[in-house]
Amino acid sequence: MKTVKLCGSLLIAAALFSSCTEQSDVRMHTSVNADGTCTRIVSYSKIMSQEMRDSLWTDSSQRRALPVPECLEISGSTYSYTQVGNGDTVTSVLTHDYNTVAEMSEDMPLQLNGAQLKATSSFTKQFRWFYTDYTFTEVFSSVADIFTHPITDYVDDDVASFWFTGQPNILQGLSGVEMAEKIDPIERSVTNWLNDNIFQLNFDFIANHYDSVINPPVSREQFVAQRDSFKDFVMKSDEVLKSGDIMSVDEKKVFKDFFHSDAYAFFFDETPSGNALVKENLKILSAIDLSVPYTLTMPGKITDAGTGVCQNDTVFYPLTGERLIPHDYTISATSRVNHVWAYIVTVIVMIVAACGIIYIKS
């Protein structure tokens, strides 16, 4: 999906509201032990000048990078430390130990639009004498309810899953040309889905706050009745035809041109209503922009990293808001611990057995 280009008041708002984008360098690491206990470490970085640090960090305050990204709830962290690096980059690391993985997921530190991301975890062991396999799974609940129009109204389930998560790989075996032919219509459908959701959100917001419109050119009932024709007008504007992105339009202009009135302009200015509308739009944008690299370590050697990438027995997963759009997102891995003692015992038993056989025969 093309990156959404912000314009007007949304561009200003995006700079004012903190989110879990790469600018905050938010990361999350999970470490699971053989006995089921576990540790979750969250880190984030902010640029803080020496002057800011001197004014905000007092002897009695916790010296953390500020402001804390909006997607983090860190009040439950039991230990933290802060480092100041090059270029006034301040990184805070927060750690919490848990007795079980279920307890850890219930205390999820990530949140979206002020609500905790929901997740469930499981940890199983399979003893096999010579080794024990450990499997950890964490399932993050979908955020599809943020969108009025479900993505499956625009593309099939498998296509939506592929577009946002890469699975299943519906392009396997195709040539570059064939891939392009398949991707282009998917991208158009997904763009239409996002455009429809953004239009619906903004139009419904104005309709629901119609009492605040001074000297409206039409009644609320007439306004709602013209929704489809107004949407068609917006989508045929030069800006949308050129970019394909509804957020490239000049909101004030399209409302004025269609309704022949400036009565709706205050929804797109620095007014209480305008700021409230910005926050509603940011609920969608926050879901799309959420990006928290997730790493996992487990006892022994990783034998199956699931959809992650394993390097030096650390599994790396991309945890993004887009992956939570079509369905729940599962992080899973299996590791193996070999039992040296089992080999020793087996060899001893074999030696004893062999000696016994020789003794009997003699």
Q: What is the dihedral of CA 341, 346, 347, 353, to 10 degrees?
A: 150
Per-residue pLDDT at 18: 41
Per-residue pLDDT at 123: 97
Closest CA to 290 of 42, 70, 32: 70
* β-strands 38-47, 79-84 pairing: unpaired
Q: Give the DSSP H/E element, type plus range, for residue 293.
A: strand 291-297
pLDDT tens over the chain, length 362 residues? 444 433 444 443 444 444 455 446 899 999 999 999 999 999 999 999 999 998 888 876 678 888 989 899 887 777 788 999 888 999 999 999 999 999 999 999 999 998 999 999 999 999 998 999 999 999 999 999 999 999 999 999 999 999 999 999 999 999 999 999 999 999 999 999 999 999 999 999 999 999 999 999 999 999 999 999 999 999 998 888 888 888 889 999 999 999 999 999 999 999 999 999 999 999 898 888 899 999 999 999 999 999 999 999 999 999 999 999 999 999 999 999 999 888 888 888 888 888 888 778 76
Rounded CA gap, 315 and 29, in Å? 10
Per-residue pLDDT at 12: 39
Per-residue pLDDT at 60: 64
Per-residue pLDDT at 1: 47
**Could you say which DSSP state residue 46 is in?**
E
The domain ranges of the chain are 8-340
**Could you say which DSSP state residue 110 is in?**
B
